[in-house]
Amino acid sequence: MNKKTIHRIIGAILAVLFVGEIVYSVNNTELATRSTGETIQIVHNPWDTEIASSTVLGLVLEEAGYNVNLVSVDNAIMFESISTGESDVMTAAWLPITHGSIIEEYEDDMVDLGPNLEGASTGIGVPSYMDVDSITDLDSQAEQTIIGIEPGAGAMIQTEAAMNNYDNLSDWELEAPSTGAMLASLDTAIQNEEEFVFVAWTPHWMFSEYDIKMLEDPDIVYGEAEDIYTFTRLGFAEDHPEANEIVDRFFWEIEDMESVTLAMQNGTDNRTAAQNWINENRETVDSWLEGVFE
């Protein structure tokens, strides 16, 4: 199957997804002070972190008077939808590692607005009460088992590479249950003050919820820290210059994203969690909006 055929198939899938239940709106908030009559479509993958960033940005654009649709799809379709112009904005590109290979295919058909968050990282985590600070400190802890997430995830591939790289991990095993199962096991282990070694990444609400730490990676097997980038479709800046200015200014810290995802995890609905953050960080949000419509 050639590349053109694959793109046609993905395009057809997009057309179905965008008119189905997977499209949802952040309209009808009480924030809108003006109406542009324009609709901005933000696409994201189903990760909590990207739901948080997309919802916050969507509500800010809504405050500026735009109609906003949020679209949740998997990674490949997310990039495809920006490159084909099906969606306008995406704030979910982890670079240079996690989405590096995907971005190579689509970067000429998108506009890179730079990072919206800096310092994202992946590695091996442990509860802070464990007396280890580096991957090289691991020997017989936690029955020589690392609890991972879904098979094939980027963090799992990196962990397999780390186990091959560090001689002290040669006899260790990597389990691959699911993200939810790993987090449930982490919760139980911490409640019982048990040893627990797991695949970790930040931003994630687990670092706000639990007293945990990422082990040092002296050989940099997991790579340097990543940034999360914003991309728009070609022509978006020309079609929506004021919205593009807001999207381009969108930037927040790891602690901001983790506070929103933790609220979501604790049962607050996505939009309320995002709106609460906006209300509590008015100065930051105002800096994204300042002077845009003057």
Find the range with the poorest average confidence among 1-10, 27-36, 131-140, 283-292: 27-36
Per-residue pLDDT, 152: 80
Q: How confident is the model at residue 293 (pLDDT cuts 50, 70, 90)?
A: confident
Per-residue pLDDT, 2: 53
Find the range with the poorest average confidence among 90-99, 208-217, 235-244: 90-99
Name the phi and psi angles at 239, rounded to 5: -75, -35
What average pLDDT does the structure give for the chain?
90
pLDDT at 181 over 80: yes
Strand pairing category for 23-25 and 173-175: unpaired
pLDDT digits (tens, 9 = 90+) for 22-52: 455 444 333 344 567 899 999 998 889 999 9
Q: Tokens 């200015």 belong to which residue?
A: 245
Q: Could you tell me the CA-to-CA distances from 47 to 20, 43, 112, 214, 276 in Å, in that order?
A: 19, 12, 21, 20, 20
Mean pLDDT of 6-34: 48
Per-residue pLDDT, 33: 44
Q: Model-level pTM?
A: 0.80
Per-residue pLDDT, 292: 86
Q: Could you tell me the CA-to-CA distances from 280 to 52, 249, 286 in Å, in that order?
A: 15, 18, 12
Cβ neighbours, 10 Å, residue 140: 10
Strand pairing category for 39-44 and 67-72: parallel
Per-residue pLDDT, 76: 85
pLDDT at 226 over 70: yes
Per-residue pLDDT, 5: 53
CB 18 within 8 A of CB 67: no
Find the range with the poorest average confidence among 152-156, 198-202, 289-293: 152-156
